[in-house]
Amino acid sequence: WTYRNVEQSNIKLLAELLQCENHNARAAATRQLRHWHSLTNRGDDLLLKAARDENGLVRLEAAIACSYIGTKNAFEALKDISSKPNDKHLSYAIKTSLGSAPMRKFWNSVDLEKKQPLLYAFLNRQKNVENRAEKTKEDNKFDRQKNIVQVKVSCMKERMLYSVELMQKSNLGEYKKSLNGDIHAKRNQPIRIEFRNPDATPHNFVLVKPNSIEEVGLAANNMAKDPIAAKSGQFIPKSNKIIVHTKMLKQGESEILRFNAPKKAGNYPFLCSFPGHWTIMKGNLTVK
């Protein structure tokens, strides 16, 4: 920094600092590559060394430097960085650098998967991370609604029956068992159902429209005859009678459903659609 302030350079010192044991010193030296890269014929080698550094902060500075340098070799170094582990800040630096005008010259989103598989994999991961973060934000907002019905549904081991618990005091996290196994809600009221399967047999939770439990249950039974459906093990029929459902969960797995109760009052059955289970493993969501 001092050298830059007096418009001087010291490539020898830069190279020494890039090998320093202190990662903060290596990161500071890498930052200077933004401005000194073209002053030495070793610029590309020094950048690549920083891009492959074991420390994330150094790689972050290298990613940003790539957008300043703007050469094909800098782009290759940036690709190298994208293929290594990256946390939130480093990921953001890589993505920002990739989107800069100097780097955009070297890739195109149209044929990215074919021509730049490393970058495609990185950007795909980033998109998934952002989608999960957005989903988490939406879920938290849904769960904070004051009139929400919170329910825990489990399976009684080896009995093929649901066990339903209803939230009594949300501030204390207290649940009380539903004596008849039913769930009650008002029309359009938000509902959060946490479904867990402690049983050795796969189970799921499928909410259906009134008077359609037999239709959906029989359709699930017929899926057992389909080799593809049997292999997938999901046994969730394609039906417009299904309102919401979890996946078919194995022992120890769980899933959360968030939805608003139907706008029309009535009894909405829920069932396990594993073939044969629906005749006894069932209950009702009563909407008033």
Q: What is the 3-state secondary structure (H, E, C) of 256-278?
A: EEEEECCCCCEEEEEECCCCCHH
Entry field: residues in the chain: 288
Q: Report residue 15's pLDDT band, with 50, 70 and 90 as the boundaries.
A: confident
Does residue 1 register a pLDDT over 60? Answer: no
Residue 124 — pLDDT band, cuts 50, 70, 90? confident
Q: What is the mean pLDDT of residues 195-211?
A: 95
Domain ranges of the chain: 2-138, 149-287
d(CA 183, CA 283): 8
- pTM recorded for the entire structure: 0.59
Which pLDDT score is estimated for 87? Answer: 83
Identify the pLDDT of residue 202: 94
Cβ-count burial of 87 within 10 angstroms (0-12 exposed, 13-18 middle, 19+ buried)?
exposed
More confident call, 69 vs 2: 69
Q: Of 111-115, 133-137, 156-160, which one has max mean pLDDT? A: 111-115
Q: How is residue 202 written in tokens? A: 């796969």
Of 171 and 143, more confident? 143
45-63: average pLDDT: 95
Report for 73-77, 88-92, 116-120, 134-138: range of highest mean pLDDT: 73-77
Residue 6 has what pLDDT?
43
Q: What is the mean pLDDT of residues 272-286?
A: 95
Tell me what percent of the residues of the chain surpass a pLDDT of 90: 66
DSSP state of 110: T
CA distance 184 to 178: 10
Confidence of residue 22 (pLDDT cuts 50, 70, 90): very high
Interatomic CA distance for residues 5 and 261, integer angstroms: 65
Per-residue confidence band for 85, with pLDDT thresholds at 50, 70 and 90: confident
Tell me the CATH number of domain 2-138, given options 3.40.50.300, 2.60.120.10, 1.25.10.10, 3.40.50.460: 1.25.10.10
Report the C-alpha gap between 178 and 165 in whole angstroms. 5
Fold of 149-287: Immunoglobulin-like (2.60.40)
What local confidence, expressed as pLDDT, does residue 132 receive?
A: 75
Task: Supply the pLDDT for residue 199.
Answer: 92
Q: How confident is the model at residue 173 (pLDDT cuts 50, 70, 90)?
A: low
In this model, does residue 27 exceed pLDDT 80?
yes
